[in-house]
A and B are shown apart, each in its own frame.
Chain A
Amino acid sequence: MSLPATRGSGRTGWSPGFLVKLALIALVDALGVYAVLAAWSAESWGLLAAMVALLLAANWAYFSKRALPWKYILPGLAFLLVYQVYVVAYTGYVAFTNYGDGHNSTKEQAIEALLVQNERRVEGSPSSPLTVVAQGDTLGFAVVSPEGVVEAGTADEPLAAVDGASVEADRVTALPGYEVLEYAAVLERQQEVTDLRVPVSEDPNDGSIRTQDARTGYVFTSTLTYDAASDTMTDTTTGVTYTPNDDGQFEAADGSTLPVGWRVLVGLDNFVTAFGDERYAGPFGKILLWTFAFAVISVASTFLLGLFLAIAFNDARLRGRRVYRTLVILPYAIPGFLAALLWSGLLNRSYGFVNQVLFGGAEIPWLTDPLLAKLAVLGVNLWLGFPYMFLICTGALQSLPGDVLEAAKIDGAGRWRTWRSITLPLLLVATAPLLISSFAFNFNNFTLIYMLTGGGPRFDDASVPLGHTDILISMVYSVSGLDGTAAKDYGLASALSIVIFLVVATISAVAFRRTRSLEEIA
């Protein structure tokens, strides 16, 4: 089918292949354009730019004759960008900000929140039946005072009595000079209605009418005002002026700050806290060591047990191997978080199955003694992890070339020698990359720790809520405050995540380099 002129790349002419390609690209373009429009309406400009770039790249790659390699690379590259690079880059960005409690959003929203939080209903002021009215495009309120007088006003015109209004059930239904808005029309402009403040009189200190439901109005005074020109907040009761500081808060001359702040870049502050703050530095060292020990021992123990069982069940003399193999894989079929939860029940000191039945009622503190808890975590992870290793070792063993083993036999090598010099190296070629990924997985095995011990038992000597079985990723979870026991600090948590990323990435890179030497054997 392939014509020499097209040389397998950019199909041209109206061959069936080209038509299929055209249809597929048209589909891709349609989805891409939809995504661009969606990004446009959601006003996320970053996403919009990325989508446009990706779309152009896709069209270029699949229609250009000179872009053959890109035809293969592009899909993978796009996935890499969306799921890896973007996530790491965003985490990296957050690590340099003070995103967390008290610095949760943008400056505009913080100002808005501060202003609305500092409005006070004037004590003893009546709640007045209110009607939303309009003068042309200008919105206003019409209220019925407790004395039965109808008053109306807009943002610029203070309330004034209006004659000739019709009132039904305490509510204004028609007003000369104003148009009374229907509920539907009010809903259309509800943002404007809730933002509207109609002054009670010429004196701003008397307060202004506002409403939250377009039915009842209350008189409020504001204790905080914002001046956009000088970018300052002023407390009208004390006269103190607050100016924005570098930490994303409004600060007065005496150093006091207003409660709601916003997100700003803080440079390396989070990394300094992670390593420099003595409250974190001590536990961090211990947790780092335990994380390495946990990941290495977990990989080694699961691999050795899996390998042992794989070799045992690979022996042709063993009867019923299939049954055994199926049984051994069972722990793998139970979701990890569920199994960890089950085990935490089984290991309960007084009521757990392990102590009650296996140890005859002995009260062994499996999950509350520092050393035993570590052993319990390793033991449960061994139970959870060996079926996976068993599977890959079985697969690798069965694909070993028989002639090499035969040659070893002819050369007079003993069993041990054959296993050490032939089987194991060949096995490692196939399994080493999986061992590395297993290490990376266990390094971040949050589920197991969280479900089994919750990081406990706590360090007795530390002043942060961390424990003996906490690994780095569960430490990040505690520090970020997501469990509700501490103030949220996404900045610090992201900084620690970046540290974890660097550790895992470095170890994986070095280890993959080392496995190349294994491949030379094959």
Chain B
Amino acid sequence: MRRSILTAAALTATLALAACAGGADQPAGEESSAPPDGTGATLTVWVDETRQAAVEEAAAGFEESTGAEVDVVLKNFEDIRPDFLAQVPTGKGPDITVGAHDWLGELTSNGVVAPIELGDTADAFEPVSVTAFTQDDQVYGLPYAVENIALIRNTELAPEAPATWDDAIAAGEDAGTKYPLLIQTSTEGDPYTYYPLQTSFGAPVFEQNEDGTYAPELALGGEGGTKFAQWLAEQGEAGVLSTDVTYDIAVAAFAKGESPYIVGGPWMLEQFGDLDLAIDPIPSAGGEPAQPFVGVAGFYVSAQSENALLANDFLVNHMATSEAQLALYEAGDRPPALIEAADTASEDPITAGFREVGAEAVPMPSLPEMGAVWAYWGVTEAAIISGKTDPAKGWDKMVDDIQGEIG
């Protein structure tokens, strides 16, 4: 008898597990099919940690005015893109998710994101932020923050903004600190942080159309690219650039006052505590303007959302407000995309500094082809800096490899 009880118990466990597997589908099913009572509709929003509180605040106002419920789901930012791509087609994805504008190409080519008609509110946003979310004349996201890197300067160690890269290095060496200038590199390279230096040699990654969008034609080869590669090798040999400097090492060294300059973004500020800082444009290394990438953060609406009305209503009428955008700014330190909110935020000189640099910057390409570029770009830069690869040959091989991947 004991045996049969044991087996029955094991079977219970088995079926309970199987039931869990089946049960997991259940809440999702409820989510996506709107209950008959209009006020009982539930809107699911995916957010990451830094944006959770601000979105919840806006959601509370939305719940009050419409009676609908907003379910704010906390997710790891790195997981959002793959999960959104995988779950939207199954009908289990969210109605709205936060995201970065450079996901756009992949999201549209997989048909998981729906266009948003901003209507007249479009003019209330920084133009670059709406352009970044535009593809084929259609807007796919509601922007809320614009982020870009700049030169962060410790005013105690360097009282004046450098005009060129060489000036910055000279001033850094005069300051007598451990590093003349900090720029995160790591053994995998960091093409995002290095991009302004690359553009200062006139080698943008893709050809840019007149309206600011990109065409999928590589532009990082050619003379400008080769000159940039040779410059990397020289600076690497001189010890100014080093693949040993990772993000953590760079930030920690700057916080300790071991360098007057660091190339970085607003996300670093929290760790610099009470250092006296100024934000300057990134000094040009190759003579042309050093334009960093602008990343725009925003909200996407799922193509399979069964609450599309609510979702658009929430975004266009409740997230595009000055209060909501300022709340997101407080949480994430990035200048808001809504001009009115950005003006308020610019009372802080640091934010104003980043915004000023951002005005000259270029949007990060959102083409699906960009994925192939990242895979080769950084490691090639790292290999050139550490002297493992001949600059001209290495750079040409990288361009060929990327071209091969894009096809």
Contact = CB atoms under 8 A, between A and B. Distances in A.
6 contacts: A31-B18, A184-B38, A216-B117, A348-B244, A368-B187, A485-B372
A82 interface: yes
Interface stretch (B21-29, B167-175, B221-229): B21-29
Contacts of A41: 26, 29
A127 B11 CA distance: 61
Given A104-B112, A114-B111, A212 B309 contact: yes
Given A104-B89, A487-B368, A31 B15 contact: yes
A2 B3 CA distance: 12
Given A116-B115, A486-B372, A127 B82 contact: no
Contacts of A117: 108, 111, 115, 136, 138
A194 B309 contact: yes
B392 to A, nearest CB: 15
B5 A82 contact: no
Interface of A: 1-2, 8-9, 11, 15, 17, 20-21, 24-25, 27-28, 31-32, 34-36, 38-39, 41-44, 47, 51, 54-55, 58, 62, 71-72, 74-75, 78-79, 82, 101-102, 104-106, 109-110, 112-114, 116-117, 119-121, 127, 182-188, 190-191, 193-194, 212-216, 218, 259-260, 279, 348-351, 367-368, 454, 456-458, 460, 463, 465, 481-482, 484-488
Given A2-B1, A185-B38, A486-B405, A78 B309 contact: no
B277 to A, nearest CB: 25
Interface string B12-45: 1111111101110110110000101111010000
B66 interface: yes
Contacts of B37: 184, 188
Nearest to A86: B21
Contacts of A109: 89, 111, 303-304
Contact of A24 (B12, B18, B119, B404): B12
B309 A193 contact: yes
Interface residues of B, number: 85
B25 A213 contact: no
A39 B28 CA distance: 12
Interface in B286-326: 303-304, 306-310, 312-313, 316-317
B38 A183 contact: yes
B116 A212 contact: yes
Q: A17, A34, A54, A187: which has the most chain B beta carbons within 10 Å? A: A187
B7 interface: yes
Contact of B16 (A31, A47, A54, A463): A31
Interface in B111-170: 111-112, 114-117, 119-120, 136-138
A76 B313 CA distance: 51
Given A113-B303, A127-B119, A351-B249, 10 more contacts: A2-B1, A28-B15, A34-B19, A62-B8, A75-B14, A101-B368, A117-B136, A182-B38, A186-B38, A484-B81
Contacts of A116: 114-115, 303
Interface of B: 1, 3-5, 7-19, 21-23, 25-26, 28-29, 34, 36-39, 41, 66-68, 81-82, 85, 88-89, 106, 108-112, 114-117, 119-120, 136-138, 187-188, 242-244, 249, 303-304, 306-310, 312-313, 316-317, 368, 371-372, 374-376, 379, 383, 386, 388-389, 400-401, 404-405
B22 A58 contact: no
A35 B15 contact: yes
Contacts of A212: 116-117, 308-309, 312, 316
A465 B376 CA distance: 7
Nearest to B137: A120
Contacts of A15: 1
Contacts of B25: 38-39, 42, 44, 47
Contacts of B137: 120
A121 B117 contact: yes
Contacts of B116: 212
A121 B110 CA distance: 22
A47 B1 contact: no
Contacts of B81: 484
B13 A75 contact: yes
B37 to A, nearest CB: 7
Contacts of B386: 368
Contacts of A458: 379, 383
Contacts of B242: 350
A481 B19 contact: no
A351 B178 CA distance: 14
A405 to B, nearest CB: 38
B9 A24 contact: yes
A218 B303 contact: no
B23 A34 contact: yes
Given A51-B18, A104-B110, A112 B34 contact: no
B318 to A, nearest CB: 10
B377 to A, nearest CB: 10
Given A42-B28, A185-B38, A481-B371, A32 B15 contact: yes
Given A2-B1, A35-B23, A82-B17, A184 B371 contact: no
Interface centre among A185, A215, A482 (most CB of B within 10 A): A215
Given A58-B15, A79-B14, A216-B119, A104 B85 contact: yes
Contacts, number: 249
A110 B111 CA distance: 6
Contacts of B114: 116
Contacts of A484: 81, 371, 374
A218 B119 contact: yes
B38 A187 contact: yes
B405 A214 contact: no
A487 B19 contact: no
B371 A187 contact: no
B236 to A, nearest CB: 13
A261 to B, nearest CB: 9
Given A17-B5, A190-B308, A213 B317 contact: yes
Nearest to A105: B89
B313 A28 contact: no
Contacts of A460: 383, 388-389
Nearest to A456: B187
Contact of B109 (A20, A260, A481, A486): A260
A187 B19 contact: no
B395 to A, nearest CB: 14
A43 B108 CA distance: 27
A117 B21 CA distance: 35
Contacts of B304: 109
A17 B1 contact: yes
Nearest to A457: B187
Contact of B306 (A190, A279, A457, A481): A190
A35 to B, nearest CB: 4
Contacts of B374: 484-485
Contacts of A187: 34, 38-39, 41, 68, 309-310
Contact of B308 (A1, A43, A191, A367): A191
Nearest to A9: B4
A11 to B, nearest CB: 6
Contacts of B120: 127
Contacts of A62: 4, 7-8, 11
Contacts of A82: 17-18, 21
Contacts of B19: 31-32, 34-35, 38
A43 B376 CA distance: 43
Contact of B7 (A75, A101, A110): A75
A460 B383 CA distance: 10
A306 to B, nearest CB: 32
Nearest to A36: B22
B18 A54 contact: yes
A191 B14 contact: no
B169 to A, nearest CB: 19
A146 to B, nearest CB: 12
B224 to A, nearest CB: 23
B375 A465 contact: yes
Considering residues A31, A349, A481, which has the most beta carbons from chain B within 10 angstroms of its beta carbon?
A: A31
